[in-house]
Each structure stands twice: as structure tokens, then as C-alpha cells.
A and B are shown apart, each in its own frame.
Chain A
């Protein structure tokens, strides 16, 4: 498949904007959420919303490092679009009576650690690293979590919102895989070494230390919701399939690393990987929230209100 034309993509992005006001959040259908679904759905939506928000912050960091103006502008839009998804998901939670007053749901501890890492280090990371991790997270979201939500929730407003969200996400993925291929273009040893050099950066190691348990935590949440974990793995396999469709894509060393890691995650019998990572998930669950610094102010930008 040929890579997309980023200039045309930017025009398309600008022409396909939507806002929360385009959806009637008071329309009937909220009552279709069952009593059994409600508590699990609340936790699921909260995580989903925070993952969108984490994606938003990652795009903001990528905009800083973008290799050209077009990509910078695209990432600026994606940053805002991910925030819009988080806002829309919050609006759904409000509609379903899951938020008291102006309450913002709390991120789970693993997400909280990723937020902390993003806030401190993401801007310093080379675009190769986030440019590969983000499509991985997005494909997992797009392919599994959102699909699952639509399969289990009957509320038409939820479907209406996710139709718009999924349209945006497909553009994010299109750009994401194109950029991965751009980064794999050229095969010199020096270039590959340069792309891998950040592995020696302790800041990146910290990022990995928060990313690994996050995926396992997501998996646990998905299972708790009653989703067969194979669906999540199938989505993660899609990353390998699409990312590896061209020689340039396969040549990107970060693609190879993330792909390999995805294989570890998918293979539940790999105890060497899962036992320690699951232990970290449990361990991090004991971190008292007060031990973490105050949330960065970008976290407070979230709102379920269509108008401000």
C-alpha cells in the first residue's frame, strides 16, 4: 500500500472537523445501559478516556519534533482531536450518570505513571520512538476496545460519537504508519544506530517501565469487561501486519522492537515476560497517589461540556 500524501491529509483533517455540540447528548438511549454493565463500564470508559488523553499528550510531544511543517500541523490537530475524544467519552460518562457534578474520573495508577512520564520526558524523546508506540496503542484501542464497546453498548448516542471518533482514528493510523515508513526509509547502519541510540537514554527506560505494565493493566481491564483477550491480541497483530507491509516499514528498528514486544504481550505462556510485568502492575497498584506530584495542568483541560 502506498504511503499517504500528508499535504492532502492535512486538508482532509481540516475539512472533517466535528465538535461535541454536533451530538445531542440528551437524546434517548441512555437507559439502555444495564445495571450489570454500569460499574464495569464506568471503569472501562474512564481508562479509555485517559488513554485518549495520554495519546493527546504524546501527539503534542511529536508536534515538537516533527520533521516538517505539515506533519507538525497534523500532530497539532491530532493532539486536539485526541482531547476531543476524551471529552466526548467524558460526555458519554456524564450522560450515563457516571460523573458527579464537575468530577473528572481518576486515571488508574499505571496511566498516572505514564502521564507523569509524558509530562516530564516526552518532549525530549526523538519522534521515532513515540511515532511507533502511538500507532501501537491506537491500533489496540481502535481494533479492540472501541469495537468491543460498540458490540456491548446499545445506546445510539454512543454509536454516533464513536463513528466520528473512529473516523478520526483511521486518519491517525494512516499518518502513523506512513511516518513509520518514512523513518525506515534508507538503510544505512548509521541511521539505524541513530534511531536506536535513545535506548541508552535512562529517560526512555523509565518510559518503557511505565509502558509495559500499562499494556498488561489494559489487558486485565479488558478481561474484566468480558472481552476475550484474543480480540486485543488480534488488534495488536494488525500493527505487525500493517507496519510491516513495506520494506521501509520493516526497516524501521523501532517497528521491530515494538512488534517483538507485542508478541511477548500476546503470548500469555511467555512467563519470563508476564510474571515480572504482572508483578509490577500489582506493585504499582500499591503506590499511594499522594506520593506522586500534582497532576500537570493539561490534565485539567478536560471537559464534558460542549460549550464553554
Chain B
């Protein structure tokens, strides 16, 4: 584990000298220690996960070296550093869940586990020598744009950082959320959230509850059933589960990829095209949707013989409306002698366990919350103040909007990875991420080449873009009537991109300077 947290001391001294009246408004407004300007750079990246590190790699490849990465934890890795629960793995084949510019011929399985993905992220950080850029244990508290100087002042727990451009790469799934269940504080047993796993807890012989049967729940359950005394799984809504063809990569395959990287490219392309074709079934309601649903139902029928259990596990919404789950060992695990699916609504948590509406108190030694993340649809993870004191969270209160998912008008030189409407439902998130990274690199390059102070997207361009996105979303399965974390309470979809990954990549490939206001230096 890296402890390279203070590698920029020379810069810090230089930066300290620059702490003058020209400092950030937020910095000068308070005399507290954390408001001192620590460093200034051309680009500030928030978050050292896949997106933050990927951005740094691509920026450097284009000759942009003056980069600081702010990371709240003590190591790189983002979601793969935090989500270390047993069974954590990716739903997308490893060959596609990796950067095209940093392929790994050594993946041990077709769908690698979380620890191997995290090793890949560490490899990126080490191979590209990114750790010196990272300021660990720097939690971003707020950020504010200084119109006069054209810089962003980012207030962290350890001082203010200034940057000409900022990449918000903190990730959409970075804040674990406990469900809003009555009595959650009353429960006296052990509590674990999937994103903050307690590796010291011994499940051997314990009575365990798992609340949540989403993407992390269905990965945790088969592992817990192997260890715990008894596992009760609390399900609210059954999801569509498709088989997951996970197998060990043979040695010859790795050797082939090592010797002929083009073969890995070809494999990646084939996987990409296969996932693109799946979009036809799960993003829109087409004849393929019925086919994919049939595969899901067949999978259930083959793995679950009991009629009532099958009924409990049959989804009542169109496939694709919520995240499609991939697992071949979830249904068998539920039917083990030491496992039971509970579908009664939860009334409340009590001192010893969970009271469900059929009147029974289910008692446990430990409750595992696989209840996902606090996905912010309308707010921002910390206050972001743009030009003329405008606040992004307020502007987004009716639903988040951006231009091409990456820029917001009134917030110059600010780029978001996985901003509004960039979520994939059928293909690798990293394909989308690469397209966004290449776009932000072009934006930052443009600023440099044209010697501009700032680039601010025009409000009209942003409006036109969102009109089109929402019109296209209306025809998708996500907006077909189910409730999901993709939608706000009002049913507004600020999360997903309504199209193929190829369409998203094409959207991001075009950098139309005409859609931006150029602010001269």
C-alpha cells in the first residue's frame, strides 16, 4: 500500500509564496489553517480511481504534466479500493473492463474479481508513475471559480488547491448509502456495508442477514452462504439475472495476448460488438428484449425448481429498466440449506434483528447492507460555485444537466467524468470513460494552444443537447415505468445515455469549439 502522500513539497513551497490577495475568494474569506493555498497546477483532478488516473495518463501523453490529483483515501483505486466485499467482481469481461491504451494480457479469468481489477489500477498508477501526482487524504470540501483570474479554488481538508482546469473524477458510486429503514440505530448486532467491508469479522457459524439483492448483493450472497451458519436474504424487488460465463483464462490465451497484442485487440473488439448488440434488447423495447427476457426466465427455470421461489424471483418489469444482473451462482446459493429468501416487507430493525410485516422478528449476529450508493441525481458531492456565484447543486435541483455529460455552462474549464447522462447499461463503463477522458484532454489542450483563460459552454448548446437527450430517453426501457436508481423521485433520468457506446464515443469525439464561449487570457 502506497504512502506517497507528500511528494510535491517543492511545489508546495512555491505555491505558498503565491498565497497572496489573489488567492481564492473562499481561501481569503477565512483564516483557518485549511484555507491556505497549498499548490497551484494547470489541472486538478479529484479522485484517484479509474477515471482520475486515466485522465492523468492521457493528459501526460499529450504533454500536459502539471497535474495534481486529490484523493480522500490513503491509496488509489476508487470504487475497487472501497468495494472489497467477498465475491466482488465486474459484470463486464476483463478484456473490455480495462483501458484500450493499457491492455492487460494477464487477466486470470473472463470476469476478473475485484482484487485483480484493483491490482490493474495499481499497475496503472505504478507503470505510469502517477503516485507522485496524488495528494492522499485530501478530502475535497468545496470548490469555487475565480472569474477574475480564471482559476478554480478547491478547498480540501488540508488546504486550498488552485487549478486552471478541474476534472471531477470522484465517481458516481463513491458514497455508500444505508437504507432509510425505521430503527436502523436500534440494532445492536454487527453492521457491515458492502462498500466498507469488515474483513476482521468472522462469519463462521454466524446468523447473517443480507439486505439488498442488487449487483453487490448477488455477488456477496454465494460467498457468505459458503461460510456463515445461516443467511437470510431480504429482497424488495427481484431483478433480471442472466448467466455469467466466468471461466479461467488458459495459459495459451495469455501467451497469445502477450506475443500478439493484435489478438487481444481483436478479442476486445468482438466483446465490444457483442455488448453493443445487447443494447438493442435492453435499452429499447424490441423483439430482442423478449428474447433476452426469455433467456433470463429460462435461466431461472433451470436453476430453481420450486414454483413459489421462482415466482418470488421473477421480475415484474421489463428487462433493462433496472440494472441487469449477471450471476450463475446466485440462484443455487439461495437454495442451499443454510439460506432463505425473505420477501416480506421490512417493518423495522430492532435490537436483535429485522422485524418483517408477517410479524416475525428475524434475529441475526450481523446485518450486511448491500443497499448500494447515494447516487446524486440533482446535487453535487460538495458545493461547486461557478461564475457570478452560481451554485451547481441549486441549478440542478430540478435534475442534473450538462453538455455532452462533461461540461456545464457557467462553470468554465470544469470537466466531469460520468457526469449527467453518461451511464452505460449494456457496455463497459471504461469505454464511456475513455471517450470522456479524450474529450477533456482536447478541451484542456485547446485552452493551452489558443492561450485562453477559459472555455465555457454556451447555455443554448447545453439546452439543445439536453432536449435531444431527454427526447431519446423517453423511448428507452429505463423510462418505461419502473423505479430505479437511474431516476429521480420525479422520474427524471439524469443518469443514463440513451444509445450505443459507439454513439456516445462519436458524440465525445467531436469537439465543437462553436458551442463554447472563449474567454481570452
Contacts and interface: CB of A to CB of B under 8 A. Distances in A.
Contacts of A88: 359
B307 A119 contact: yes
Contact of A83 (B309, B348, B352, B358): B358
A24 to B, nearest CB: 14
Contacts of B311: 123
Contact of A77 (B316, B355, B357): B357
A133 interface: no
Interface string B326-356: 0000000000000000001101101011011
A240 interface: no
Given A123-B311, A296-B308, A297-B308, A21 B345 contact: no
Nearest to B232: A308
Q: Which of B307, B309, B311, B358 has the most C-beta atoms of chain A within 10 angstroms of its own C-beta?
A: B358
Interface string B269-309: 00000000000000000000000000000000000001111
Interface in A48-84: 64, 69, 73, 76-77, 80-81, 83-84
Contacts of A119: 307-308
Given A17-B347, A17-B348, A69-B483, A84 B306 contact: no
A297 B357 contact: no
B360 A87 contact: yes
Contacts of B353: 307
- Which bracket fits the contact residues of B? 20 to 34
A173 interface: no
B41 to A, nearest CB: 49
A298 B359 CA distance: 16
Interface in A65-114: 69, 73, 76-77, 80-81, 83-84, 87-88
- Which bracket fits the contact residues of A? 20 to 34
A3 interface: no
A123 B357 CA distance: 21
B345 A307 contact: no
A156 interface: no
B72 interface: no
Given A119-B307, A298-B308, A21 B347 contact: no
Contact of A81 (B316, B357, B362): B357
A20 interface: yes
B363 interface: yes
A21 B355 contact: yes
A284 interface: no
A40 B344 CA distance: 32
B361 interface: yes
Nearest to B356: A80
Interface in B356-380: 356-363
Contacts of B307: 119, 296-297
Contacts of B355: 17, 19, 21
A83 B356 CA distance: 11
Given A80-B344, A83-B344, A19 B361 contact: yes
Nearest to B344: A80
A303 B344 CA distance: 14
Contacts of B350: 21
Nearest to A307: B361
A80 B345 contact: yes
Nearest to B363: A307
A84 B358 contact: yes
A75 to B, nearest CB: 11
A119 B362 CA distance: 26
Contacts of B362: 307-308
A306 interface: yes
Contacts of A306: 359-361
B232 to A, nearest CB: 8
A303 B352 CA distance: 19
A121 interface: no
Interface string A252-277: 00000000000000000000000000
A238 interface: no
Interface string A267-307: 00000000000000000000000000000111001010111
Contacts of B316: 64
A18 interface: yes
A25 to B, nearest CB: 12
Nearest to A13: B357
Nearest to A301: B358
Contact of A84 (B309, B348, B357): B357
Contacts of B361: 19-21, 306-308
Contact of B306 (A17, A18, A297, A301): A297
Contacts of A18: 359
Interface in A10-43: 14, 17-21
B67 to A, nearest CB: 47
A20 B309 contact: no
Contact of B358 (A80, A296, A297): A80
A20 B348 contact: no
A17 B483 contact: no
A64 B315 CA distance: 10
Nearest to A16: B347
Contacts of A83: 344, 358-359
A68 B352 CA distance: 35
A305 B353 CA distance: 15
Q: Which of B311, B353, B363 has the most C-beta atoms of chain A within 10 angstroms of its own C-beta?
A: B311
B392 to A, nearest CB: 31
Contacts of A69: 483
Nearest to A84: B359
A77 B357 CA distance: 7
Across the A-B interface, give the 6 residue pairs with the lowest CB-CB distance, nearest first. A84-B359, A80-B357, A17-B347, A83-B358, A20-B359, A297-B308
Given A76-B345, A303-B360, A308-B360, 13 more contacts: A17-B347, A19-B359, A64-B316, A69-B483, A80-B344, A80-B356, A83-B359, A119-B307, A296-B308, A305-B360, A306-B360, A307-B361, A307-B362
Interface of B: 306-309, 311, 316, 344-345, 347-348, 350, 352-353, 355-363, 483
7 contacts: A17-B347, A20-B360, A80-B345, A81-B357, A83-B359, A84-B357, A308-B361
